[in-house]
Chain A
Amino acid sequence: MNKGKIVFNNPPKIISTYSCVGSEEQKGPLGKFFSYCSEDNKFGKDSWEKAESEMQRLALYGAIKKAGLCETDIDILLAGDLLNQCVGSSFGLLEYDIPYVGLYGACSTCALGLALGASLYSGGIAKRVAAITSSHYCSSERQFRFPLEYGGQRTPTSQWTVTGAGAFILGDEGRISVKEAVFGISKDMGIKDINNLGAAMAPSCAETIKTYFSEGEKSPSDFDLIITGDLGYEGSDILKDLLLADGIDIRKNHTDCGILVYDRKKQDKHAGGSGCGCSASVMSAYVIKKMEEGELGDVLFIGTGALMNSLTMCQGQSIPAISHLVRLSSSEV
């Protein structure tokens, strides 16, 4: 296997996508792009964990329906979230009679699902793959930080977990294809602050991007958009610095899902959005739409995940991070 860039011989197309988000995301600048917005962040359920599972279920249901397919047309589900043992995905997708693989890549899960799905398709193992990813602000806060009603102050570098889910169905029809991928190598640069995950993830993201461009065929200016998810404001600045030091300039066409999802001035979300539902919902709603409309042709998407849990944090261990890359292309290159 090539440890660098993987070029899919038989790249899958994105048949359909579906996103569902909570009320805060609806109020953000991308509000009108999401397929389904719920005013009720509990999605009609009685716990936050059940709400997250419901988002997974809705996202897959929506994507299958939008594609005009039925459950039996999907060969495999690749799904992940941030909850312990990935219960958001496994419980939410329980009603589907489709082989299920649970993924954990923290906030890189959406890119991981797309890269794995494309590998399965390209290798001829699956004809149609569904990749679903979610996160919920309330279930994540409970697991990683403080109770929701606890009166604490957030530091300016902290990010806000997005309540959202995104589903992609990969197969043989559609304008956009998943052409290439890079599976990242986890990297720990000694950051211990759970309120500065952007800084913890930026080095691994830079490493994955460097790996992609190391073969020299392409340069950042060949892409309409290089989008990371989710480094936020802090991590994005660091990423650009790190890459510039290695002669890779992404300043002109880079943005981050965590930057796009909330209004910095009006929504008081500090360093931006995070959580694997952030990149999943932003990619499946906004970026794919812009690609379908022809505004964006060639896009590099790098999912970045911080791999700590609450026990490693209490033990004072630093935060390793992982970044996976996929190249989405709607042009006939």
Chain B
Amino acid sequence: MNKKEYTEYVEKKSKKSPIYKNCAFAFFTGGAICTIGQGLRDIYSSLTGDEKITSSLVCVSLIFISVLLTGIGVYDKIARFAGAGTLVPITGFANAVSSAAIDNKSEGYILGVGAKMFIIAGPVIVFGLLSGTIYGVIYYLAGILL
């Protein structure tokens, strides 16, 4: 068996992820997180009456809950079943940053927490900013030309 035949054989033989089950779990847990977000929005909105403050408060609350659950070691257990359901909402981003911060605490606050905190979330920030900038430039140019 050569390398190509072997990798094809392994591809065929390996147990596959249960996609339908994973999708169903992701749908319901992701939906549940969004429902909690909407519930918070309704509460904050009735309290403040300000749309902008309400949006910020919802984000901050979800981030807080996610970081808290990460810190007490629960988030990863939920995420094992929830998959993309806990990864895609803002909670996933908060978990990626806080889990890296906790993990690297043993190397100190500067070389550990500070340097390694964005090891997973870093690329999202870099390419998020980059694509945002490109979009902004196109939007600006389109405004002048059209």
Contact = CB atoms under 8 A, between A and B. Distances in A.
Contact of B99 (A48, A147, A203): A147
A146 B102 contact: no
Contact of A149 (B7, B75, B92, B106): B75
Interface string B7-31: 1011001111110001000000000
Given A191-B10, A196-B14, A238-B13, A148 B103 contact: yes
Interface string A86-110: 0000000000000000000000000
A174 interface: no
B75 A238 contact: no
B139 interface: no
Contacts of A242: 1
Interface in A171-219: 188-191, 196, 199, 203
A268 B86 CA distance: 20
Choose among A147, A151, A188 the residue with the greatest number of B CB atoms under 10 Å from its CB.
A151
B14 A147 contact: no
Interface string A145-182: 01111111111110000000000000000000000000
B17 A156 contact: yes
Contacts of B98: 149
B10 A238 contact: yes
B6 interface: yes
A8 B36 CA distance: 68
Interface residues of A, number: 33
- Among A188, A190, A241, A268, the one with the most B-chain Cβ atoms within 10 Å of its Cβ is A190
B47 to A, nearest CB: 30
B7 A151 contact: no
Contacts of B92: 151
B106 A47 contact: yes
Contacts of A149: 70-71, 73, 75-76, 95, 98-99, 102-103
A153 B76 contact: no
A46 interface: yes
A142 to B, nearest CB: 6
B10 A199 contact: yes
Contact of A151 (B22, B71, B75): B75
A237 interface: yes
A199 B3 CA distance: 12
B79 interface: yes
B102 A153 contact: no
Contact of B83 (A148, A153, A188, A237): A153
Among B3, B10, B73, find the residue whose CB has the most chain A CB atoms closer than 10 A. Answer: B10
A191 B7 contact: yes
A25 interface: no
Interface in A38-81: 46-49
Contacts of B14: 156-157, 196, 199, 234
B78 interface: yes
A136 B44 CA distance: 45
Given A154-B80, A155-B17, A156-B17, 8 more contacts: A148-B103, A151-B79, A153-B17, A157-B15, A190-B6, A191-B6, A199-B13, A245-B1
10 contacts: A149-B98, A151-B76, A151-B82, A151-B86, A151-B95, A152-B79, A156-B18, A189-B6, A190-B6, A199-B13
